[in-house]
């Protein structure tokens, strides 16, 4: 649309409502104290705590928005690698319908499987050069525990969520979740396999809401 103002040609740009309506939530999740020595490498190791609770060490959380959102036009693709006999990353949140590849970056066989109700599978033994890279589609919400049939100490977690809006906190519990739709929603913080906190939020386009999970 063009208008002539004071002898100048001016172009009026109309932005989509979805762009104008984006909101942001930021804050901090109070994480449990780590019971392990400081990790000297940049990776997180899944451990089993008392009562069979699974969490990362050092602790992390996944913050996500709950609501009725449209499904992606094409299935998302993510990866969890096996490197140095660990899962990298060891905690991966994904949207329902995501295909996750499991590349082997070690100079040895791996055999990834899960007995979790949200996804049961067994990839069998495979080498680093295996092509196509073994993968699975995660189509049911819930927590999936990954293990290796060859290396019993290996643990990994996939948190399957029915939302496209999620983020992993840093080691201090800080998070920032952006490009959110306006409206009234429930904001949740997954902390471990038995602890999820939630708060009701009202999001307004163009504004940043501060939310803490004590």
Q: Tell me if 189 is assigned to some domain.
A: yes
Q: Tell me if 58 is assigned to some domain.
A: yes
DSSP-assigned letter for residue 117: T
Q: What is the CATH number of the domain that holds 30?
A: 2.60.40.420
The residues, ordered by sequence, that sit 6+ positions from 169 with a Cβ below 8 Å of its Cβ are 28, 29, 31, 60, 61, 62, 63, 175
- Asked whether the predicted pLDDT for residue 10 surpasses 60, the reply is no
What's the pLDDT tens digit per position in 33-63? 876 554 444 455 566 665 789 998 889 999 9
* C-alpha–C-alpha distance, residues 212 and 30, integer Å: 8
Q: What domain range is 185 assigned to?
A: 21-213
What's the per-residue H, E or C state across 44-108?
Answer: CEEEECHHHCEEEECCCCEEEEECCCCCCCCCCEEECEEECCEEECCEEEEECCEEEECCECCCC
Quick check: bond before 89 cis, omega within 30?
Answer: yes
**Among the listed residues 58, 97, 40, the one whose alpha carbon sits nearest the alpha carbon of residue 74:** 97
At residue 44, the pLDDT reads 53
Q: Which residues in 63-92 are b (16+ Cβ under 10 Å) and which e?
A: bbbeeeeeeeeeeeebebbbeeebbbbbbb
Q: Tell me if 3 is assigned to some domain.
A: no
Q: Which of 15-29, 36-50, 150-164, 193-207 has the lowest mean pLDDT?
A: 36-50
At residue 82, the pLDDT reads 96
Q: Tell me if 43 is assigned to some domain.
A: yes
* C-alpha–C-alpha distance, residues 208 and 202, integer Å: 11
The residues, ordered by sequence, that sit 6+ positions from 6 with a Cβ below 8 Å of its Cβ are none
User: Which residue is listed with tokens 């994480």?
Assistant: 31
18: confidence class by pLDDT, cuts 50, 70, 90: very low
Q: What is the pTM of this model?
A: 0.85
Is-contact 72 60, C-beta < 8 A? no
Q: Tell me if 138 is assigned to some domain.
A: yes
- The average pLDDT across 142-161 equals 95
The total of structural domains in the chain comes to 1
Q: Tell me if 152 is assigned to some domain.
A: yes
Q: Tell me if 7 is assigned to some domain.
A: no
Q: Tell me if 15 is assigned to some domain.
A: no
At residue 3, the pLDDT reads 46
């Amino acid at each position: 649309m063009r208008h002539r103002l004071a002898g100048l040609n001016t172009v009026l740009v109309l932005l989509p409502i979805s762009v104008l309506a984006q909101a942001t939530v930021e804050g901090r999740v109070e994480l449990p104290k780590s019971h392990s020595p400081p990790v000297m490498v940049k990776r997180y190791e899944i451990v089993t705590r008392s009562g069979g609770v699974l969490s990362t060490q050092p602790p992390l959380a996944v913050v996500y928005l709950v609501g009725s959102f449209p499904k992606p036009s094409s299935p998302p693709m993510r990866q969890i690698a096996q490197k140095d006999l660990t899962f990298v990353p060891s905690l991966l949140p994904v949207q329902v319908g995501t295909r996750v590849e499991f590349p082997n970056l070690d100079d040895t066989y791996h055999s990834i499987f899960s007995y979790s109700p949200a996804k049961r599978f067994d990839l069998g033994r495979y080498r680093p050069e295996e092509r196509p890279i073994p993968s699975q589609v995660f189509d049911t919400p819930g927590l999936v525990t990954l293990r290796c049939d060859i290396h019993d100490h290996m643990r990994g977690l996939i948190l399957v969520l029915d939302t496209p809006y999620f983020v992993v906190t840093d080691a201090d519990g800080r998070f920032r979740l952006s490009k959110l739709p306006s409206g009234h929603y429930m904001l949740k913080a997954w902390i471990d396999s038995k602890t999820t906190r939630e708060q009701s939020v009202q999001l307004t386009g163009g504004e940043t809401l501060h939310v803490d999970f004590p």
